[in-house]
Each structure stands twice: as C-alpha cells, then as structure tokens.
A and B are shown apart, each in its own frame.
Chain A
C-alpha cells in the first residue's frame, strides 16, 4: 500500500501542476486595462463626402429628364440654394445668429418631392465657415423626418464638395 502511494506521489511530482497564478495576474491586469479603454471610447461616426469629378455626365443619365444640379451654399448671412432652374430665395439666419437648419431641411424636402430620384448635391461655403457648421449643414441635407410615417427619409446624401469656395 505504501509502495503504491509512493509511486503515485512520485508520478504526481513528475508531471507537476502548472502554476497558473502568474498567468492569472497578467490576464487580470490586461482585462482591467482593456475594460478601462473600452469604456473611455467615444461614439464615433462618419459622414461620407467626395471631391468633385470633372468631365461629362455619365452615359446612364436620363437625357429627357433635366438634371437638378442642386447646390447648397453656406454664406455669412444664411443658406443659398441653387439648381438648374435658378437660384432660390436665401434662407436667412435665425435672430439668435444661428443658421436655420430646419428651414433648410424643409426647403430641400420640397425640392426632393419634385426630384424624387435625385440624391446628389453640391456643397459650397464661405471661407471662414467653421467645420462644425459644415457638418450640421450636411446633416440637414441628408435626411428628414417624415412626421406622417414617423421615419427618416433620404434627401440628398451624396454630397460633393464644390471645386472652389466663395
């Protein structure tokens, strides 16, 4: 019996048990570090825009339907909308000095109703327009909330930055 036990103990000593404590220390530290960095992450998103492409329109363009060529311009005094048909009356700033994004969306919604297939728009702005205003204007140009259907509808999400500036 004793011989058997000795034999068993010897075998146990030979294979041994892996000491997992250092491994656990490392893993626990890494987990704490990763948890902290994941929690600190800010929610980031992107707005897609493209630079102007020069040259003739695509071959697939409908020749019978006039192109809209919508251009939204952010000026010092407000927004200006222009299309193939002409320039629309400008949308002035609010009395508070902020740009009237809701009015811009409302105007673009009206245009969208007449040109439901159009998704492209050109963006232009004054040289001193801050980037914050640019992003807000792009937001106002992209979607509108349909109150009747209670969902967001696409306006002009394919924004191209104009070749020059004001």
Chain B
C-alpha cells in the first residue's frame, strides 16, 4: 500500500489530498449533529415581518380600553369600526376624559356641586372646562395640519348608565363644541 502510494506523482497526490479534504468537509456538513452555526437569517426576516405586522395591527386599533366590572359595554349589531377621537368614558364610579378623572359618579349621578345649575342642571362644569381645553388643542392641531375640526367624541359608557347621566355628559360635550358622538359598543351578531 505504501509502495503504491509512493509511486503516485506529487501533483496527483496533492490533488487527491484536496479531494479528500473536500469530501471530509462535505461529510461534516451533512452530519446533523455537527452543525456549528445555524443560518438564522430567513428566520429573522420572517420574525421582523411578523413584528411589523403585529405592531401595525396593535396601533391601528383606535381605542384601547380596560373592561372591568365598572365598565362593560353594551352589545350592538353595528358594523362601523371605531375611529380616532377624544374618548369620554362613563364608568360606574367616575367620569373620565382621555383617561383623566373629571368627576365622581355615585349611583348614576354626578355630584350636584359640580354642576353649574345644581341637581337639575345638565352643565357639568369640570367636564366642559377640560373638554374646552382639549377642543382648543385639537383646533390648533387641525389648523397646523390643514384639516377641519370635526368635533367628534368617542363615548365609552357602561351599559347600566342611566339616560339622564348620558344626556348630561352629551350636553356638556356640546357646550365644548363637540356635537358628533360615536358610542363605543361591542360588536355582536344578535
């Protein structure tokens, strides 16, 4: 065997050695237990695409709300999707504008001291004051961006809210130049 190999010319021997090296490398590659570095580029491509898609769908939902025992939305057959607008939330215990507490609610009533005209009044003073500020800000934004101020509000109300309280809130919103309301509901088929 050794004599046979010694008879091979040197250039052929180096070529054979090269082929052997290639074969051993190919075997190494084919051996699944011996993978040294996994090519994760396609997986990363895929993950980045999924990330972008999920981020987009996460941010496109106009209103994010926390439903709990104090705020459960009524079901409705409407098919209209929510739009970005200033949210006014009426829970069982508190009235909020953009997540900021405006007035407490006790048994479906606002404290008469917070109303301009007392118990029978509709004008909820802190709500009008805060919404007027928001309206001024929105108008400035609309001016800068060249859009029209549409005076739209999203009303997120608990399903047990009495109509009287709803009317008081809507009247106060109207005083702050908001006249179009989107009542947020749960979509249902029945």
Interface contact B76-A45, CB-CB below 8 Å: yes
Stretch at the interface among A8-16, A48-56, A78-86: A48-56
Q: List 13 A-B contacts (CB under 8 A).
A: A24-B47, A30-B51, A34-B51, A44-B185, A45-B76, A46-B185, A50-B181, A74-B163, A131-B74, A135-B75, A136-B74, A143-B77, A161-B170
Cβ contacts under 8 Å, A37 to chain B: 58
Cβ-based interface call for A41 (8 A): yes
Cβ-based interface call for A127 (8 A): yes
Known: A31-B51, A34-B54, A134-B166. A46 touches B184 (CB 8 A): yes
* Given pairs A20-B44, A45-B82, 5 additional interface contacts (CB within 8 A): A47-B182, A48-B80, A49-B181, A135-B183, A138-B183
Q: Nearest A residue to B156 by beta-carbon distance?
A: A44
Interface contact A45-B81, CB-CB below 8 Å: yes
B175 to chain A, nearest CB (A): 10
Interface contact A131-B163, CB-CB below 8 Å: yes
Cβ-based interface call for B160 (8 A): yes
Interface contact B161-A46, CB-CB below 8 Å: no
Cβ contacts under 8 Å, B187 to chain A: 43-45
Report which A residues bind B (CB closer than 8 A): 20, 23-24, 27-28, 30-31, 34-35, 37-38, 41-51, 53, 74, 125-132, 134-136, 138-139, 142-143, 161, 164-165
> In the complex, which range does the number of interface residues on chain B fall in?
35 or more
> How far is A127 from B161 in the complex, measured between Cα atoms in Å?
10
B86 to chain A, nearest CB (A): 14
Cβ-based interface call for B89 (8 A): no
> How far is A131 from B170 in the complex, measured between Cα atoms in Å?
13
